[in-house]
Amino acid sequence: MDPTDKARRVWDRSAPSYDRQIELLERIWFTGGREWLGARARGRVLEVAVGTGRNLPHYPAAVTISGIELSPAMLAVARRRAAELGRPADLREGDAERLPYADGSFDTVVCALSLCAIPDPQAAVREMYRVLVPGGRLLLVDHVRSTWPPIYAAQWLLERVTIATAGEHFTRRQRPAVVAAGFAIVESERLKAGSIERVHARRPGAG
């Protein structure tokens, strides 16, 4: 099966239970990540792999929100969440590796806990660069390979199952792809024994 089709099926199956499953992890592992993203978002915001829309409550009122999601089932949950919040958002089905937007369409691109599972993360980051205006912001939060060897070993073992079943990686690191795409790093930090990374980068140019 094509990796993108496989990912779509995996996330369609996960959609009904995703929010329950992620809630505990967010409290103990991804703590504050969504708030960190929202505090830095500006202007026209595109969220890549918007999932069930868990970032929507954290965006400033002044931004305009667009979102792209591979899984129709996840997207349906995100649309319901946006409606319940009274938050206008243009949420579309689409592929992070081939974003359906013109060059320079957004001031901020956000991607949370998703580059770990996108089949070609380098292609996705290049697309994020393309759709940003010069000077635009890239904001990422993801789990990455730990700097502590015992955790890294556990991540490596876990991947033997998760890559095959869900295409999810635990020992990837996204920052090199960001730099390779031409972004300039503004700030970055690693938390939880280096297993969580937050990256704020900028597309060079005016702005």
In a domain, 207, yes or no: no
| Strand bridging mode 132-143 / 196-202 | antiparallel
What contacts 104, CB < 8 A, 6 or more positions away? 131, 132, 133, 134, 136
From first to last of the 207 residues of the chain, give the pLDDT tens digit.
Answer: 688 888 899 899 999 999 998 988 888 888 999 999 999 999 999 999 999 999 999 999 999 999 999 999 999 999 999 999 999 999 999 999 999 999 999 999 999 999 999 999 999 999 999 999 999 999 999 999 999 999 999 999 999 999 988 889 999 999 999 999 999 999 999 999 999 999 999 999 976
Handedness of CA 73, 85, 95, 6 (dihedral sign): negative
Does the pTM of the predicted model rise above 0.85? yes
Quote the domain boundaries for residue 119.
3-202
CATH number of the CATH domain containing 87? 3.40.50.150
Nearest to 107 by CA among 67, 142, 63: 63
Nearest to 201 by CA among 118, 119, 140: 140
Number of domains in the chain: 1
What's the burial of 140, exposed, middle or buried (CB within 10 Å: 0-12/13-18/19+)? buried
